[in-house]
Amino acid sequence: MGILFSVCGFWKNTESDDILEIQYSFAERKGIVKMRKVILDCDPGHDDAFAIMLAAQHFDLLGVTTVGGNGTLENVTRNALVVLEQIGKTDIPVFPGHAGPSTHELVTAPNVHGNSGLDGPVVSPPRRKPEKKHAVDFIVDTVMNNDDVTLIATGPLTNIAAALNREPEISKKASGLYIMGGGAYAGNWTAAAEFNIWVDAEAAYKVFHSGIDLHMVGVNLTRQCPVDSAFIDRLRGIGNHTGEFCAQLCDFFSKGGDAHLHDACAVAWLIDPSLIESAYLHVDIELNGLLTRGMTVTDLRFLQTTKPDADIDLTSTARWDDPEEGSPFRGKAPNTHVAFRLDYEGFCKLLTKTIANYP
């Protein structure tokens, strides 16, 4: 007999997944399981599509907000509507937000996501329109008028920073913020900076200095989540419409040979915290560096190890405020839970099970 328990809206079973799904469905219908309330701020984007699919099934997804990033605001908003339509979740509203940063012009990534931002599958235009309410207004109103709303951001942090500027109490009122952005060691758009943070570094600076309970999934973690031929075969093997849609997304996304499901990792961490190992560290945003603008400067000094085959030791019990002999000052207090290691097989099982539950 399997044991049922819930972690942040995700379900686990020690023996039988089949029995578990029946138990979970019954519990949800009876109101025993309370789904976590979530807003997903994104810029779809192939990997954002998978983030939407995970969030729409495992949480009470109150709304999807869009921001200029991987593509123009018009394109990413359309793409969010397309993804929700493909998975049969047309009851989830989509709120367009800022078209780009306030300090400079938007830079997009057609070299990665194609001209539409979601090249690959041939799909019809979405049948419904986005909401007229601005994403920032929706975020502020929803967080301030509800208890326990968690924010997930998988694009530039322009909307989130604007919401914090509008209502600073969001940093205390929200249950937390999970972002895909940055990197503990290096970047992907530049040698030092990851794309989402680099696109609007000023917004990222605002968010990282806001005091919100912050979880960062950077490219140091997401490189452990490759989109390769075996992964695509796994998606296609699900045998339903959504699985084929996802496989076609990945056919295009992986054509450059170096694709990873960055954004889905941030959602997966909230669904099942056991999938990711992390450390609580101080992270700041570089705004002025000629070569390092947009870098998430991560203080790893307290995880350093003398082991020749490792740069850091996640089992370290050192604290930021432990006085080191001859060095009483050890930096600033931690402000970010930084992801380091992914259970890739566990992630794949979560994702494929999720996709299998769609049409």
Active site residue 241: no
Q: What residue ranges in the chain does DSSP mark as E strands?
A: 4-7, 10-13, 37-42, 60-66, 94-96, 149-153, 176-180, 214-217, 276-281, 283-285, 296-298, 336-342
Give the pair of three-digit tokens for residue 201: 């570094």
Single out the residue of 239, 359, 349, 262 nearest to residue 11, CA to CA: 349
User: With contact defined as beta carbons under 8 Å apart, do 243 and 235 qualify?
Assistant: yes
23 phi and psi angles, rounded to 5 deg:
-65, -45
- Annotated catalytic residue, options 46, 58, 113, 262: 262
Radius of gyration for the alpha carbons in the chain, expressed in angstroms and rounded:
20
Burial class (CB in 10 A: 0-12, 13-18, 19+), 6: middle
Alpha-carbon distance 347 to 359, whole Å?
Answer: 21
Three state DSSP letters for 78-90: HHHHHHHHHCCCC
Cα angle for residues 276, 68, 134 (degrees, 5° grid): 100
Residues labelled catalytic: 262
